[in-house]
Structure 1
Amino acid sequence: MRRVWVRELAGWSGALAVAMITTAQVASSARAELLFRDGDSLIVGMFARSVLSGAPLDWAMSSVLFLPESAVFASLDAVLPLDVNGLLTVNAVINMLALYGALRLVVGRRRDDTAPVMWALVGLGAFGLLAMTDVSGSRDALELASLLLTTTYYSATVVGVVLSVGLVRRVIDRVAGGAGLVIALGATAAVSTLSNPLFAAWATIPITLLLALMLIRSPRRTRTAMLLVVLVTGTALGFLGRIPLRAWIANTGAGYVQPERWTESVRYYGALLTDRMATPAGIIGVLIVSSLLVLAIARTVRAGDAGARFVATVAWVTPVLVAIGAIALGTHAARYLQPLAFAPVFALVAAPRAWRVSMRTGSLLAAAATVMLLIGGAFSAPRLAAASAAPDPDLVCVTDWVDASGRVGAGQFWTVRLPKLHLADPARLVQVDHELNGYAWLVNRTDFDVGEVSFLVEDAQTVPWRLSTSTAPDEVIDCGRYRILDFEESSLPLGPQRS
């Protein structure tokens, strides 16, 4: 028993090191824009801090509610004395650790001929290496693995999908029992779907398809049918749970479904793939995914048991189904294709066979690998700290001025969200469109109760203003990449809300 705990502790220590190395590399690249400053990436931090403030809540969310992600960020914010960037950095490391925990479930129970801890760590390392090949600052790039490090781009959904695969595999591998695992599967499906309907496309459809095929050949048809029913029922309950929250869902996502535009979708994703392969890092990333897909197909053919075959099949079937579905529905968003990054990793954990070496040699190799990872993690800590503490004098200029003014101003979506999150009172910056109408999208609609504002914040992303008044600003404050148009002697009325 003691040896088991030592082995598991070593695995988690190695996972922490991999998480720190990966996060430090991503945060030190242009991808830091997505981690710390992108307008979309800040919704979880904004929502969590709004909840913690105790202010009235009337949020306009997308089809994704970010419930698990917000719970994690709010917990960190409540207990850690860190600024926003520090919290986002810690959250990125925790997301990687959560993925390791889920992969540890997928890899199965330890037997005499298996090494589940080692292979779970290998799987995490492969995913981390893939994330480190993501080097652009674009949210639209086909750089999918690094999206797990953000709080916004469906990290909880990714972990939920991996957990679901692991729970199904554990039930398939068991000789008897497993009621708790089945209940956990239903709960995971319900919570994941409640938060993000994409779970149905990423997990429920592929897993249901494979379970249905297994019913034809499986000697344990009752257990397989039970897994199928529980997964579908949990997903359905998740959709039903969204009904009471519909007032917060400003966009159900139905508008993104445009099957008549499938040819445009093919061109869009084809262009993203071409751009991805235009850099050495991108080529390495494509080769990693391609190699894992080939390995997954090979392990599907050679699998020695039903659990290994199921996991290996999920590794290549899920990316294929998701890619085909994204094109068939005419979508134009790289983030919908994240299973192309994480699902192929299942190929590494489908059949976690132990290497045939002596116990002494194996212990020495494991210890050496753990020590190397820990050293790498330790050297990554200063890089993490430097990346999260990178100075942004332009942002500080805006937030200091707004905090000191004691007044309420406004700005457009891509401009205002970063300063808004970093303010002492985020309600002092209202999110509007270029005509000063309230832009009710991923924001607390109580902000618009103020009715009018007295200054505007703009930058290079700001669409030229079309104001109802021709009054010129009394003063223009230069804050580097930002400008503050101060209308101190007059007021600018807000128009009606739109989303």
Structure 2
Amino acid sequence: MTRAPRWPREVLGALAALAIAIAVTAAVAAGPRSVLLFRDGDSLVTTLVARSIAVGQPQDWAMSTVLFLPESALVVLLSLLGLGVAGTLATAAIVTLLALYGALRLAAGAADAARAPIAGALLALSGFGLLAITESSPSRDALEPASLLLTTTYYSATVIASVLAVGLVRRTIDRPGRRLHVWALSAVGAASVLTNPLFAAWAVVPVVAVLAVVAWRGGSSRRRTAVWLVAALVGGSVAGLVLRLPLAGMIANTGVGYADPSRWLESAGYYAFLLGERASTVVGVLGVTLGFALWVWCVSASVLLVRRGDVGAALIAACGWVMPVLVVVGAVVLGTHAARYLQPIGFAPVLGLAVLPALLPHRTARPLGLPVLTGATALALLVASAVGIPRIASAANAPDADLDCVVEWTDAASRTGAGQFWTVRLAKAHLDDPRRLVQVDHELRGYAWLVNRDDFRDGVVSFLVIDDQSVPFALPDGASLDGAELIDCGRYTIADFGERTLTLGPQRS
């Protein structure tokens, strides 16, 4: 009997994932985390890259340790759709969640080697979505890592690459003879470390640790496979570090200063405080409980799958609990103080759901037919689109008279002004020509951080944009805000010096 093709079910799985992605994006966009999605100074770096390219500006970027290469490429491509700044970012969130589904689908296993892998990948994406919608703080420093994936700045490509790496390792363990997966793993490692060295901490170290156990407990054939995988992952990562050398001019901060092992106790207290803050609300308790339950399930599933001899699936579950443990311990030992470094606690435990079908009791009933699955998927996508897209559009197009005032005044003035990082980036991203607003510090020195250095080429400005987040300016050449005309734009104030120009100081980062 001819076997039915798999592609219709794969297409339906992708469409179901699209429905989940729309629903999750709508929930986050309509909540307090929308600040990070649409308005945060850090989150707008990819938008500023796209705007800079669109106006034909020479590219001379000052980035952090992270280069945001895949994230920027995505926003540049999506910006061609003409959806506006917020609309593009919302679309990028949906696409990113779809990419996560693709990585989870790889981790769930091949259709002929794993049980119900599409359902497993959808379960994992749904679990991740539930974690994201329980996060409700507008702060970028909150211990709410899942929803950060929806932004294009907080390492979304590294999250997806980490899951991809785990999936490629599982596929190779399941079918040791396929070297294509080994080469793909090496390429993922190289590309990921090139754009973000955190991939080494999030994926390389935990996966190598799990593969070491596989090599130790397995036979000679499995040991050889594990060695090849470790070599591919480590070798690719080293290649990524080498590829960063020609891009050294873009890296304004190597990240070395972020670590201070002498402050490990302070770091532990800081993360404990963030956890307590996260659990201070009902929805926060639900999120913490769900995350911990998923972590415990990963531990249990890895043990059960090892006993059944399903090493590939066991590896997925093991990574689900090993990744968060090693990353949290490493972050504390290094004395870090940044919740965004702990994102594996959000995405890794859902890996246990990807292998859940392998542990469910076998049913004698026939699986649902294609017509039933098609109807259910179409209904889910219709409901998600009908409810979610208007909510996303409403959040993306929410009126902001204060921002409009600054943007319209600056566009009309056709002169160059300046403002501090957290103040000026939102308006800068919405200008017809983003070069009209330059990023400076309170002493009017060019602040070369997540910005195109070409902005500072002219070296003079004639007005300042100020808000409550601005540190009081200490202006050069005896200039004072008292000599400027003040234009009220709500939460913003434009201090216009008219024909007088202020000279920018030397750049700093």
The TM-score with structure 2 as length reference comes to 0.95
Q: Which residue of 1 aligns with 2:8?
A: 6
The CA deviation at 1:55 is 1.6
Write the distance in 1 (CA, Å) between the matches of 2:129 and 2:294.
Answer: 14
Q: Which residue of 1 aligns with 2:439?
A: 431
Write the distance in 2 (CA, Å) between the matches of 1:497 and 1:361.
Answer: 63
Q: Which residue of 2 aligns with 1:216?
A: 216
The more displaced of 94-103 and 214-223 is 214-223
The more displaced of 325-334 and 374-383 is 374-383
CA displacement 1:200-224 (0-9 Å, x = unmatched): 0000001111112221122222111
Asked if 1:335 corresponds to 2:340, the answer is yes
Q: Which residue of 1 aligns with 2:280?
A: 278
8 Å Cα contact 1:65-1:196 kept in structure 2: yes
Asked if 1:322 corresponds to 2:327, the answer is yes
8 Å Cα contact 2:113-2:174 kept in structure 1: no
Write the distance in 1 (CA, Å) between the matches of 2:54 and 2:236.
Answer: 29
Asked if 1:387 corresponds to 2:414, the answer is no
The more displaced of 219-228 and 457-466 is 219-228
Write the distance in 1 (CA, Å) between the matches of 2:367 and 2:142.
Answer: 46
Write the distance in 1 (CA, Å) between the matches of 2:198 and 2:383.
Answer: 35
Q: Which residue of 1 aligns with 2:147?
A: 146
Percent identity reads: 53
The CA deviation at 1:474 is 3.6
**Aligned Cα root-mean-square deviation (Å):** 1.6
Please show how residues 17-416 of structure 1 align to structure 2 within 5 Å: 17-78=19-80, 80-111=81-112, 114-174=115-175, 176-219=176-219, 220=221, 221-303=223-305, 304=308, 305-353=310-358, 356=363, 358-359=365-366, 366=373, 369-378=376-385, 379-416=387-424
8 Å Cα contact 2:171-2:312 kept in structure 1: yes
The CA deviation at 1:49 is 2.6
2:465 alignment partner, SS class: strand
Q: Which residue of 2 aligns with 1:480?
A: 490
The CA deviation at 1:114 is 1.2
The CA deviation at 1:238 is 0.5
8 Å Cα contact 1:296-1:346 kept in structure 2: yes
**Residues 112 and 263 (structure 1), Cα distance of their counterparts in 2 relative to 1, 3 Å cut:** closer
The CA deviation at 1:44 is 1.0
2:43 alignment partner, SS class: helix
The TM-score with structure 1 as length reference comes to 0.97
8 Å Cα contact 2:215-2:226 kept in structure 1: yes
**Residues 112 and 157 (structure 1), Cα distance of their counterparts in 2 relative to 1, 3 Å cut:** closer
Q: Which amino acid aligns with 2:344?
A: P
Write the distance in 1 (CA, Å) between the matches of 2:388 and 2:76.
Answer: 25
Q: Which amino acid aligns with 1:349?
A: A
The CA deviation at 1:112 is 8.0
Write the distance in 2 (CA, Å) between the matches of 1:23 and 1:351.
Answer: 25
CA displacement 1:254-309 (0-9 Å, x = unmatched): 00010001111011101100000001111111111111111111111110211011
Write the distance in 1 (CA, Å) between the matches of 2:483 and 2:168.
Answer: 60
The CA deviation at 1:2 is 5.0
CA displacement 1:226-258 (0-9 Å, x = unmatched): 011010000000111111111110000000010
**Residues 239 and 465 (structure 1), Cα distance of their counterparts in 2 relative to 1, 3 Å cut:** same
8 Å Cα contact 1:21-1:376 kept in structure 2: no
Q: Which amino acid aligns with 1:135?
A: S
2:457 alignment partner, SS class: helix
2:473 alignment partner, SS class: coil
8 Å Cα contact 1:454-1:486 kept in structure 2: yes
Write the distance in 2 (CA, Å) between the matches of 1:295 and 1:23.
Answer: 26
Q: In the comparison of the two structures, how many residue pairs are matched?
A: 497
Write the distance in 1 (CA, Å) between the matches of 2:455 and 2:290.
Answer: 46
The CA deviation at 1:360 is 5.8
8 Å Cα contact 1:60-1:442 kept in structure 2: yes
**Residues 316 and 455 (structure 1), Cα distance of their counterparts in 2 relative to 1, 3 Å cut:** same
The CA deviation at 1:358 is 2.1
The more displaced of 389-398 and 321-330 is 389-398
The CA deviation at 1:350 is 2.6
The more displaced of 206-215 and 310-319 is 206-215
The CA deviation at 1:82 is 1.1
Q: Which amino acid aligns with 1:383?
A: R
Write the distance in 2 (CA, Å) between the matches of 1:360 and 1:324.
Answer: 43
CA displacement 1:427-457 (0-9 Å, x = unmatched): 1111001111111111111111111110000
Write the distance in 2 (CA, Å) between the matches of 1:459 and 1:206.
Answer: 44
In the alignment, structure 2 segments of 5+ residues that lack a partner are none
Write the distance in 2 (CA, Å) between the matches of 1:362 and 1:119.
Answer: 18
